[in-house]
Structure 1
């Protein structure tokens, strides 16, 4: 492979402007995440009085100190609970991510019980379903820290109740796949929430705090007239001594989390195939050359407007080992860039865009995807495209059929695929570059990413032309003021929905990342998928049933 020679002037005025714009977006994103943390932390006096830890404190104690942590879907629900950007609290009512417990890579989910007692917020169910999919695909043990008021009945929607069944189905599938499900019941779990521990392999409860019942005292009284206390219905001591729902009884949150760490460690002693092969990881990462070009340059590479061109090889060279690339068909279909490289020692294929995808570019990408599948190398997509080429020449050249071949290749690829949305992700280009609908193993967005069927101005101009043509057929002239008003409204609607923070709030990605962290995020994801392929869990016909 050849070291890439950068032509980007990091000291230019345009680079400075781009850097400033990207830093402002990063600050806005971090402020949204901090808003959720502060909202949860306001409950600290209540938690202290009860002798409990806050949700983020629980997660921090559970995880190995100093080990990598990849948060997932931190903006879930943003602008979905309210359209007021100053009041919307992201997160979906839970914390989620991949981290290490006793040296084992695990999926960790914690109810954010500092906010509305852990009630599931907007997009909370979708967030849980997404992280369950990630855990299943990547053969990750699942550790769940539960303290939730469950569904908010004041915001009840029947479809949420019905689709919620998928959550419990996934818990059963996870256990049956031979992947341990450990629940620490820090507080309440009512109705559907009671099936969280019920469908886990191991349950740890906290004396005086844990509650799990299908019907709490108010519902029981309303439904049957029976009067019972919370402890009688679902307390920790009752479940660990009478019903058998709980295996371990802890005195407080700290002891419960320590028990969880011990269980994960003991599990891996018995099932070494599921543990991280530390020697293999050291072998992969030893001798890895860091990029020659600075990651900080990634702040200045991506323009705020999709009309400005970007050479995505400049991005590639700042995230791959030694800044070395082996470009595939470099002189053919130049607007589509395909290259082989290594990231953290892992051999990968990378596909990106220096403009719209034309016929040669689609054919090149199709060939490259199939070549990577033959080699067994994961594929990384760096999205930055306004879509497939349009126009008379493109249509006559067979753009539809050649673009379709590329989409078929993405769909049928037999290797893990990871997508980073860096800039524009418009039209069918989102599909051909392995967008959310094509189930990449992981998908993250830069703050600069824009996702839409087309640009706002193109959409507005299209509608303007259609409207003017309709009026002309009726012999009427368009009203200039009304036409401009409609144009501005359409642009505003498209721009608002294309924003990376808005799309992340809808879980159209697995989270926003700082461009400077792209290499480490990709390295973490590649480590995860390689470990998953090496694991051989003891799958069973059924999940572990509670006895």
Structure 2
């Protein structure tokens, strides 16, 4: 390990503190609407959302929860009233989206939409059967202006999945009201529960207001009516456990097969202890972090065949495998990306596409190098080549932010806007247009130039206050928890779980064919 003992201790302490904070937030999210709301839910004879998921999944199989910190730092409860994630049902990897009815009746707010939209994207790209566990009062009406128009995409997404031969299943545990009625309406397979499921575009009060009709719940939208009269239900369950049994039965009958290749390399564990990643993850992002040390604690057998090790040394590239799945790695070594690094990256991405190998990006970059010398040396052209290669690469990409992800370096290293199949972050990670101090300094320089151009004195006291305020704002908005709260990643993970999470993600992406960009040009030596 190439890190001093005192610095390793500082890193470990800082990471454990952040993990403890995250653990408290996860516990809060797991409680849903709180103890009293859960007690009311149980008093109605209902299982909680996580109990439903646990019973649906195969015994002792993993569940990769996605976006668990969605809505953090907003007016909405952490988790955004829905649980999404990937699990195994009857031996099949599936995407699960489950309403938490203890949180405002399971109604959907703007962050619920972001979270479910991301789940739909992952399911479509990776060919995952989609299972909806439905119990929702529809839209959170006070925020309807933010969700009504974009929210319709959720139903469109279900039909898109079905049109691509990706099965969709809805298990309705309670109300599925208004727009929410289209979740079972748009699903291929629908299970409703006798006396529990209520599916209607308008409940009795709205029907009364709209038409004057005195309607009754069961005849208007009860499970028995939908199973026997409307045909909207395919299966009528006697209770929640029976609904889950029927859901598993449906998945078992899909005859689902992965379309991508299976593991092809020895999946032996790393030679170095993943526990030591807590010592390596820099609490202060100005600290150096050699990605080779990270890879030695993450990849199979700590084997890493480095590509072009003597050229473009601020970026490490090479070949490895995780849980038997081959990967190509691009990892920042010294923060700044130079022309040589960008050209090396573009060539390596072409090589990975040539042999149909997924790419893993380990982000820890402050961006592309600036300055007269570097501009004259073609940094824009080289950076554009790298971003072009990332944009048009067709092998699956996985991204892990293990430190900084600033400026255009975020783009070149496959940030969220470049559609990686999955993007996770360590608790110490940060991302922004630039560092807080640098951004505040830029604004200060611009302010001084503006004052000088107008012939005015520059107010140093006000400028100092402005710099402090800007630094505080940018620092708060660049931390991992803020970004995860806005669903800009798929979750913050414990560094020690990196190998496991990436292994699960690689297994998921191989549900779809894995094919590189074969355009007939061959590989350019840039």
Q: TM-score, normalised by structure 1?
A: 0.91
C-alpha separation in 1, matches of 2:325 and 2:13:
33
1:295-444 correspondence runs (5 A): 295-354=274-333, 355-444=335-424
Secondary structure of 2:513 counterpart: helix
1:2-41 correspondence runs (5 A): 6-9=1-4, 12-40=5-33
CA contact (8 A) 1:366 1:409 kept: yes
CA contact (8 A) 1:69 1:100 kept: yes
Higher relative contact order (CA 8 A, sep 6+): 1
Residue aligning to 1:199: 186
1:97 maps onto 2:85 in alignment: yes
Aligned length: 513
Instruction: Report the more deviating stretch, 298-307 or 231-240.
Output: 298-307
Of 222, 226, 232, the residue aligned with 1:239 is 226
Residue aligning to 1:153: 141
C-alpha separation in 2, matches of 1:520 and 1:452:
27
Residue aligning to 2:522: none
C-alpha separation in 2, matches of 1:110 and 1:490:
39
CA contact (8 A) 2:405 2:430 kept: yes
1:295-342 deviation per Cα after TM superposition (whole angstroms, max 9, x unaligned): 111111121222221111111111111111111111111111111111
C-alpha separation in 2, matches of 1:294 and 1:397:
42
1:76-91 correspondence runs (5 A): 76-81=70-75, 89-91=77-79
Residue aligning to 2:449: 469
C-alpha separation in 2, matches of 1:8 and 1:328:
24
Secondary structure of 1:532 counterpart: coil
C-alpha separation in 1, matches of 2:288 and 2:77:
35
C-alpha separation in 2, matches of 1:112 and 1:331:
53
1:454 maps onto 2:447 in alignment: no
C-alpha separation in 2, matches of 1:533 and 1:98:
19
C-alpha separation in 2, matches of 1:248 and 1:96:
24
C-alpha separation in 1, matches of 2:246 and 2:32:
29
Q: TM-score, normalised by structure 2?
A: 0.95
CA contact (8 A) 1:423 1:450 kept: yes
Question: Aligned-pair distance for 1:284?
Answer: 4.4
CA contact (8 A) 1:194 1:213 kept: yes
Residue aligning to 1:496: 476
1:122-141 correspondence runs (5 A): 122-141=110-129
Of 34, 43, 46, the residue aligned with 1:49 is 43
Question: Aligned-pair distance for 1:41?
Answer: 5.4
CA contact (8 A) 2:357 2:514 kept: no
Question: Aligned-pair distance for 1:476?
Answer: 2.6
1:144 maps onto 2:139 in alignment: no
Question: Aligned-pair distance for 1:66?
Answer: 0.9
Question: Aligned-pair distance for 1:274?
Answer: 5.0
C-alpha separation in 2, matches of 1:50 and 1:396:
71
Of 195, 203, 206, the residue aligned with 1:208 is 195
CA contact (8 A) 2:363 2:413 kept: yes
CA contact (8 A) 1:347 1:378 kept: yes
Change (3 A) 1:339 1:8: farther
Q: Which runs of 5+ in 2 are unaligned?
A: 516-526
C-alpha separation in 2, matches of 1:19 and 1:384:
18
Question: Aligned-pair distance for 1:80?
Answer: 2.6
- Runs of 4+ in structure 1 displaced over 6 angstroms? none
Residue aligning to 1:539: none
What's the RMSD between the two structures over aligned residues?
Answer: 1.6
Residue aligning to 1:543: none
Secondary structure of 2:344 counterpart: helix
CA contact (8 A) 1:284 1:344 kept: no
Question: Aligned-pair distance for 1:37?
Answer: 1.3
C-alpha separation in 1, matches of 2:159 and 2:144:
25
Question: Aligned-pair distance for 1:479?
Answer: 2.0
Secondary structure of 2:285 counterpart: coil
Instruction: Report the more deviating stretch, 114-123 or 361-370.
Output: 114-123
Residue aligning to 1:3: none
Secondary structure of 1:188 counterpart: strand
C-alpha separation in 1, matches of 2:31 and 2:82:
14
Secondary structure of 2:391 counterpart: helix
CA contact (8 A) 2:161 2:167 kept: yes
Secondary structure of 1:356 counterpart: strand
Residue aligning to 1:519: 499
CA contact (8 A) 1:41 1:54 kept: no
Of 106, 122, 130, the residue aligned with 1:118 is 106
CA contact (8 A) 1:77 1:121 kept: no
Change (3 A) 1:404 1:423: same
C-alpha separation in 2, matches of 1:392 and 1:485:
31
Change (3 A) 1:163 1:121: closer
